[in-house]
């Protein structure tokens, strides 16, 4: 295998182009377009058919800071089928931050191969899109993707006292810190206590 083919192992197998989120659907497939988005140079363009993302977060982890060269990453979660590339899905490159490879192995980061704008983080079932690339036509449209929480906030480089929930790691799977809403902190503490009690009950049952 030569150097060029080793950089793009999927170049000999373009099946990924026919699968969501990369598949291009024709106009006769009645694709419902709510938003349009593109990279900085415009070589990669896509549409979104979901008005409000499944979730929207600000991530402060070191990987996001490094990959985006920014204090944090603003990402919105969508189903893979919510996207429709209208141009340039062949102008993409991948990066696996775990193995530091350019293979299309999930999960991975996706960028435009020309201007290198981040396009998405592709997971096994969902994708993280970056609202900064979406061409919102109004403030109301932008509000639909407004962040709902912070993740990995203890790794932050700047404080953001916005009153949103702030998690030490992944949301709902770590601890709340800083200026998180007090009622949410209490609710999360109760949920943890209930989970621990259930786990202890299960252990006791197994011992009997």
pLDDT value for 26: 65
Dump pLDDT digits (tens) for 90-124.
889 999 988 999 988 889 999 999 999 999 999 99
Dump pLDDT digits (tens) for 44-94.
999 999 999 999 999 999 999 999 999 999 999 999 999 999 998 888 999
pTM for this prediction: 0.78
> Domains of the chain (ranges plus CATH)?
16-146 (2.170.150.70), 165-207 (no CATH)
Q: How far is CA 132 from CA 3, 117, 129, 135, 140, in A?
A: 34, 11, 9, 8, 15
Q: How many residues does the chain have?
A: 208
Cis upstream peptide for 153 (omega within 30°): no
Q: What are the two backbone dihedrals, phi and then psi, of residue 149, each rounded to the nearest 5 degrees? A: -165, 170
pLDDT band, residue 180 (cuts 50/70/90): confident
Q: What residues contact residue 96 under an 8 Å CB cut-off, 6+ apart? A: 102, 103, 105, 107, 108, 109
The structure tokens listed for 37 are: 């988005």
Q: Tokens 């197994």, residue?
A: 206
pLDDT band, residue 158 (cuts 50/70/90): very high
pLDDT value for 69: 92
């Amino acid at each position: 295998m030569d150097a060029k083919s080793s950089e793009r192992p999927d170049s000999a197998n373009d099946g990924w182009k026919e699968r969501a989120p990369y598949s291009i659907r024709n106009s006769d497939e009645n694709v419902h377009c709510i938003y349009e988005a593109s990279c900085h140079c415009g070589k990669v363009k896509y549409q979104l058919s979901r008005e409000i993302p499944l979730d929207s977060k600000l991530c402060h982890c070191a990987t996001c800071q490094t990959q985006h060269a920014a204090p944090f990453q603003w990402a919105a979660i969508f189903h893979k089928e919510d996207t429709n590339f209208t141009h340039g899905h062949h102008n993409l490159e991948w990066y696996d931050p775990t193995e530091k490879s350019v293979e299309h192995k999930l999960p991975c980061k996706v960028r435009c191969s020309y201007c290198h704008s981040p396009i998405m983080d592709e997971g096994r079932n969902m994708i993280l899109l970056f609202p900064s690339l979406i061409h919102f036509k109004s403030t109301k449209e932008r509000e639909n993707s407004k962040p709902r929480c912070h993740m990995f906030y203890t790794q932050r480089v700047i404080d953001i006292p916005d009153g949103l929930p702030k998690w030490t790691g992944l949301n709902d799977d770590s601890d709340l810190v800083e200026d998180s809403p007090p009622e949410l902190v209490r609710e999360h503490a109760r949920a943890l206590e209930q989970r621990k009690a259930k786990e202890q009950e299960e252990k006791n049952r197994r011992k009997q």
